[in-house]
Amino acid sequence: MCGIVGLFLKDKELEPKLGEMLTQMLTTMSDRGPDSAGIAIYGRGTRGKAKLTVQSDRPDQDLDGLAPELGQAIGTEVGIRRIDTHAVLELEAGRVHAARKAVRELRPGIRVMSDGEVIEIYKEVGLPKDVADRFELSRMEGTHGIGHTRMATESAVTTEGAHPYSTGADQCLVHNGSLSNHNDLRRKLMRKGVRIESMNDTEVGAAYLTWKMQNGASLGEALDSSLEDLDGFFTFVVGTRDGFGVLRDPIACKPAVMGETSQYVAFGSEYRALVSLPGIEGASVWEPEPATVYFWRH
């Protein structure tokens, strides 16, 4: 069991409240996933700049002085905004690849959570409310966001076992369910040179989507082919730069509820997650069909 929440705003006036609404949704899903929580937030970006969200278990050691050292290593100015165990590095968009490589060399203890123009991913072990408080999620603004509460089944309770997972620039994946062929698929993908860092099944799902897209598939096509190549139970929610998508496996035993009004499209593992949203009483509420890819875009 795990909990997923997602909120895609149509009404710009709600954007300052995105974090507040998502926090409420996320904490409601605590009993579906009390061991870790994470959030991908699509906020403000600067054209030509990229954001690299990084995390360390020893932030004082790894994040102090990181920005100037990284700037020197890749020959460009790097800005840094620290939040608890995470930091958002801002740099020239074309230098992301070099920055990832340099971070690995300069600070091997750092994990890169995400990169892109607008996405920031925060995730940690702990009760969803505590994780949301640590990152001051309720104060975050943005156009859309995805959250996950984890009850671990396939791998240990660690930061890298928590969701969301980055699947590419400004893209992420969260998962409720369990994949049963992840060991085999991990070996196959690693043989093809795909980097996979944990024994977690969802990370393999994310790596699979990334690999498909690197080989020319669109996100929709990658999701479609996952129905063939991934064995197991899943409700996936994916975030993209300008929207989000939903896919359930053909058996569809992992729950999913959508709520839509003129102001937003919301996703919850249960209706409970949606009850505090404005105007939910009059919303169109329905369950996504199995084996069908859904997308909402700005």
Partner 1 sequence: MQTYDLTERGLRGLNSILHAQSEDTNQVSWEVVNPRGSHAIAVGLDAPLEITVKGSTGYYCAGMNQGAAITVKGSVGPGVAENMMSGSVVVEGDASQYAGATGHGGLLVIKGNASSRCGISMKGIDIVVHGNVGHMSAFMAQAGSLVVYGDAGDALGDSIYEARLFVRGSVKSLGADCVEKEMRPEHVCILQDLLERAELHARPEEFRRYGSARKLYNFDIDNVADY
In what helix (H) or strand (E) does residue 203 lie, and over which residues does it extend? helix 201-214
Choice among 2, 146, 206, 230 that is catalytic: 2
Distances (CA, A) of 184 to 201, 206, 233, 257, 263: 11, 15, 16, 31, 43
Stretch that binds partner 1, among 94-102, 133-141, 176-184, 270-278 (CB under 8 A): 270-278
Q: How is residue 166 written in tokens?
A: 């980055």
Q: How far is the CB of 268 from partner 1 (least distance, A)?
A: 9
Angle at the Cα of 79 (from 19 to 106), degrees rounded to 5? 110
Stretch that binds partner 1, among 158-166, 190-198, 226-234, 253-261 (CB under 8 A): 253-261
Beta bridge partners of 285: 259
In what helix (H) or strand (E) does residue 66 lie, and over which residues does it extend? helix 66-74
Cis peptide before 255 (omega within 30 of 0): no
Look up 172 and say whether it is catalytic.
no
Q: How many other C-beta atoms are found inside a 10 Å radius of the C-beta of residue 44?
A: 11
Give yes or no for residue 290 binding partner 1 (CB under 8 A): yes
Stretch that binds partner 1, among 72-80, 113-121, 178-186, 271-279 (CB under 8 A): 271-279
Q: How far is the CB of 274 from partner 1 (least distance, A)?
A: 8
CB 153 within 8 A of CB 234: no
Q: Out of 231, 286, 292, 298, which residue is the one contacting partner 1 (CB under 8 A)?
A: 286
Give yes or no for residue 285 binding partner 1 (CB under 8 A): yes
Q: Out of 287, 292, 297, 298, which residue is the one contacting partner 1 (CB under 8 A)?
A: 287
Give yes or no for residue 7 binding partner 1 (CB under 8 A): no
Q: Which residues in this chain contact partner 1 in the complex, by CB under 8 A?
A: 252-253, 255, 257, 270-275, 285-287, 290
Q: Catalytic residue numbers?
A: 2
